[in-house]
Amino acid sequence: MSKLKLFTYSGVAAVMLGFTACNDKEHPGWEYMPDMYRGPALNTFQAYDQFEDSLSARLPVEGTIPRGFLAYDKLPNTPEGYERSKTETKMPADFPSDSLTLSEGGKLYGIYCAHCHGEKGDGNGILVQLEKYVGVPAYDTREINLGSIFHVVTYGKGVMGSHAAQVTPEERWKVAQYVMKLRSELLGVTEEPAEEDAGATADAAGSEETTETNEG
Amino acid sequence: MKNRFIQRYSKALIVFLFSVLSTLAYGQEISGDAANGKTLFNANCASCHKLDKKAIGPALGDVTERRSTEWLVKWIVNNAELRASGDEEAIAIFEEYNGSVMPAFPGLSEQDVMDILVYTVEGQKKAAPEEAGTGAVAGGEPVEPDNTVPLLILGAILAFLVYLLVTVKNTLKRVQGQPTTSLAEDANIITRTALKNPKIVTLLTILIAIVFFQQLYIALMSVGISEKYQPSQPIKFSHELHAGQNQIDCNYCHYGARKGKHSNIPSAGVCMNCHMQVQEGPKYGTEEIAKIYAAVGWDPETYQYIEGYEQKPIKWIRIHNLPDLAYFNHSQHVTAGQIACQTCHGPIQEMEEVYQYSSLTMGWCVNCHRETQVQVKSNDYYTEMHEKLKEKYGEDAQITVEMIGGLECGKCHY
């Protein structure tokens, strides 16, 4: 009798231990009805063994264009491509350049650019101040325009990587407009950079090409 | 005699002059302000050059030993001109780097260039002992206090004491002529007497029942809740460093949160935006960053992607995982609702390792929808709706998520 009781008690103790052992931070815990919680449909980024590389997120067929995609001329990611972007990459004529667009550009700038390029575009963002990342030029020291900014955001340049995955073409034009605003502020020009200004800068860059071929 | 002395003396002088001149030609005689050089280097050169390693351009730590100062000044101020003049060294280096163009720096004065060159020498000197220092620190990683050995020793001492007492008892019994009992027999006798006592049995049963039901309650209540879930990830990525110290916006990496249902795990390409350049972390050195390189096939030595490399996915472990029966959309909360990430994810910028901060239960969702006021001001998304709500609830009413339908079943379950 007493032996039986001993067995029951130790059994209870084992079950209790089993419950407490679940409080492991490596384990997400139990679910009441996993079948109901986890449907057969794949979640984002979920691995899927049916494909050889186990990636459930498949690439679209080559040449696929998403709906509403803002097309842009793809220049090669080379120094020549960068030079050509200054004259050849043009913002769509009907792209808005009002204050709302600028403020949206400013928000995007704060997310994607400011930690290196600085709030004012002086190349003195928090990462540069901490000396974790160096070699960020101020916008007013380089001959840039909307087209070249678009090109650089798309492909990166020098120590800057490509931001094409993070910033859509529309967003790139917004950011480019905001960067031009920061640049003109740094240069001490008060008027807002309208498209004519950008064109003029591009022309200037073109005409100066003989002397500044290596700006890049 | 005197003549010979002069001859010898002049010979020595010539040799001395030659040696001085040759060292001069290789830039030993550069003076300048290293601090100014550092500023100029970081602003103008560091985007392509490092001191100790090849980057887009060659390493510059020992450049003054490789080239003459005169040549360097010409090259830095306008390298195209130097190449056009037919300088062989210049053309050779241009071709070695596959014709990548270094910009001209007409804005730099000769003294500026000198300052930069002084910095390349000084900076390299400084970097060497620093590296040794950080290596030592990395070796002395904080180790969690391990109690196993002292506990084992304590256990051994206790076992020894028990053994000692049993021996003493048995020796005493033997002296008195009584039969001796082993440890197991003693334990059996004690439990048997205790279990025959109804008071003790009742007390024990009650105690065990209380503990059992309390544990059962806790266990059952935590089913379906993964609060504090903190799995080890394949790369020891620190949010404390990236989002905390470096103040990189959450949306920089999780760029999907603004636009879509899912807040994405950044692709390794986003890591490479910075880690092409940053090849060493403050805590784990190159070890963890090398895992990104292994995934994407980047060679930090040649500063290039390896051609034909079979890229491997980094298998991050998902922490926040709502049941499929509940719909949640990030952009709805981040962009339209303008809720800070930390509201649900907790102090991410302080987490070395991310854990699930909120319970993510329905009660938690509903409670927040009851309490949170809709940010209607300076939020274009709600301009039109705000007018209608003002008509319905009055001019000064505080509009909560509940009032705009945030508690309707179909909003999340359909």
Give domain limits for chain A: 1-58, 79-205
Strand-pair partners of A55: A47
Structure confidence by residue, pLDDT tens digits, B72-120: 887 888 877 777 787 877 777 777 777 677 777 777 777 888 888 888 8
Structure confidence by residue, pLDDT tens digits, A184-202: 999 886 544 444 444 444 4
Kindly report the nearest CA distance between residue B8 and chain A, in angstroms: 53
- Which of A25, A77, A141 should be substituted to probe chain B, the one whose Cβ sees the most B Cβ atoms within 10 Å? A25
Query: By three-state DSSP, how is residue B373 classified?
Result: strand
Query: What is the predicted ipTM?
Result: 0.78
CATH (residue range B11-122): 1.10.760.10
| Ordered per-residue pLDDT tens for chain B, 414 residues | 455 555 666 665 565 555 555 444 444 467 777 778 777 777 778 777 877 777 777 888 778 777 888 788 878 888 777 777 878 777 777 777 776 777 777 777 778 888 888 888 777 776 655 444 443 444 444 456 678 899 999 999 999 999 999 889 889 988 888 887 788 888 888 888 988 999 999 999 999 999 999 999 988 988 888 888 999 999 999 999 999 999 999 999 999 999 999 999 999 999 999 998 888 888 888 899 999 999 999 998 888 899 999 888 899 999 999 988 899 999 999 988 889 999 999 999 999 999 999 999 999 999 999 999 888 777 777 778 788 888 888 777 788 888 888 899 999 997
Residue A212: per-residue pLDDT: 36
Residue B33: per-residue pLDDT: 79
Domain ranges across chain B: 11-122, 148-221
Residue B128: per-residue pLDDT: 58
Closest partner residue to A137 (CB to CB) among B47, B249, B316 is B47
Kindly report the nearest CA distance between residue A167 and chain B, in angstroms: 8
Residue B224: per-residue pLDDT: 86
Which residues of chain A neighbour B295 with C-beta distances below 8 Å? none
B298: phi then psi, degrees, rounded to nearest 5: -110, 135
Using CA atoms, how far apart are residues B257 and B270, in angstroms rounded to an integer? Answer: 15
Residue B318: per-residue pLDDT: 92
Using CA atoms, how far apart are residues A1 and B124, in angstroms rounded to an integer? Answer: 82
CB contact (8 A) between residue A79 and residue B101: yes
Say how far residue B287 (Cα) sits from the centre of its chain.
11
Structure confidence by residue, pLDDT tens digits, B341-356: 999 999 999 999 999 9
b or e along B383-399 (b: 16 or more beta carbons within 10 Å of the residue's beta carbon)?
A: eeebeebeeeeeeeeeb
* Architecture of the CATH domain A79-205: Orthogonal Bundle (1.10)
| 8 A C-beta contact, residue A202 and residue A143 | no
The answer for residues whose C-beta is within 8 angstroms of residue A49's C-beta and 6 or more apart is none
